[in-house]
Amino acid sequence: MLDQRLLPHQVVYHTYTNHAEVAAAIRDMVIRGAPAIGVAAAMGIALGVERSHAKTLEELEREFESICEGMGRTRPTAVDLFWAIARFRRRFTELAGQSQRQGHPGSLDTIRRGMVDEALQVHEERRAADKAIGAFGAALLPRDGRVMTQCNAGALATAGIGTALGVIRTAFAQGSLLNVLVPETRPYLQGARLTAWELQQEGIPLTLITDNMVGHFLKTGEVGSVVVGADRIAANGDTANKIGTYPMAVLAREHGVPFYVAAPISTLDLSIPSGAQIPIEQRAQEEVTHLAGVRVAADVPAAHPAFDVTPAALIAAIITERGVARQPYESALRDLAGPKKSR
């Protein structure tokens, strides 16, 4: 894993050899961004099963459950995490059934191999999803001018070219002359540290701004559209994304700028009717009071809700790998998700 806590100053990769290390890396934000969290969880579960010393199916089942529970306790908002865990539970049950039917001692290896194959497949599918999102989304962006994003919904946050940044990257590759307005995204600075770095590596022009400049630039900056990622999209289209996304959507509406959400089908949570049911991760106060380990605030209580919820009414379209959903979202999202959502 590329340690995103150290970017852009240091490029350091970690190799993890057990599932608990992977879970800790997700919790501590070595890796972050909803789809990347899903892929990491898939890899972590597969690693746990592959390295298990269980001798019987019952033992392996117990270990598998505890691995899944550990993964599920890392970050509460990004639904890709729970999507990956549910997918692995289904696959484990299928493989366990096969192994019982085969009924010979080597059959636990079938489960071990099957888990690893599933993780590799999740990774492959995420890459393909990003490409498709990029193609659908690029068609919605202006051919030149400015486009605003939030946080980091790029390659660092997925397994491919990114979701929101994948859209921008695809438009750029198709010849659009865009300049990306990147808010720094306090308090964790995913915009300043990660999106700015990623766009710079790609040679895509950008302008870094502070979060409190968002309204000014939406009013005066000739922003053609806003495109952001998502951590969880409820059945009615309400979308949780990095804190600061909601005010950006309100200001975009006020100034007539279309506001797009780009996310894979795995980020849909059709089991909840609206954003009111989305759990919002509360992170440490120190992430607000301190910058790079140095206290910048007075010694006072602080709050850090890591996400906010943008009401569906403010979203012009939700771009997925299976196509673009528009209002009314409930039916459009269910149509796109279809029976394949379970995969």
Size of the residue set binding ligand MRU (CB under 6 A): 17
Assess contact for 325 and 317: CB atoms under 8 A: yes
Tell me which residues in 249-308 interact with ligand MRU (CB under 6 A). 306
Is residue 130 among the annotated active site residues?
no
What strands lie across the sheet with 307-310, from one edge to the other? 268-269, 232-234, 239-242, 307-310
Among 231, 238, 269, 321, the residue binding ligand MRU under the rule CB under 6 A is 231
Tokens of 201: 């590596």
Among 114, 229, 237, 244, the residue binding ligand MRU under the rule CB under 6 A is 229
Among 39, 45, 81, 153, the residue binding ligand MRU under the rule CB under 6 A is 153
Among 189, 242, 249, 321, the residue binding ligand MRU under the rule CB under 6 A is 242
Q: Is 157 in the site for ligand MRU (CB under 6 A)?
A: yes
Q: Is 44 in the site for ligand MRU (CB under 6 A)?
A: no
* Buried/exposed code over 303-333 (b: 16+ C-beta within 10 A; e: otherwise): ebebbbbbbbebbbbbbbbbebbeeebbebb
- x/- binding map, residues 101-120, to ligand MRU, per CB under 6 A? --------------------
Cα three-residue angle 290-295-299, rounded to 5 degrees: 105
- x/- binding map, residues 164-193, to ligand MRU, per CB under 6 A? --------------------------x---
CA distance 149 to 164: 7
Task: Provide φ and ψ at 144, rounded to 5°.
Answer: -150, 180
CA distance 33 to 229: 9
Q: Which of these is catalytic: 130, 211, 231, 269? A: 231
For 44, 54, 86, 140, 157, the CA distances from 3, given in Å and listed in that order, are 16, 31, 26, 33, 12
Among 52, 74, 99, 158, the residue binding ligand MRU under the rule CB under 6 A is 158
Q: Where on the chain is the footprint of ligand MRU (CB under 6 A)? A: 32-35, 78, 151, 153, 157-158, 163, 190, 229-231, 241-242, 306
Catalytic residues: 231
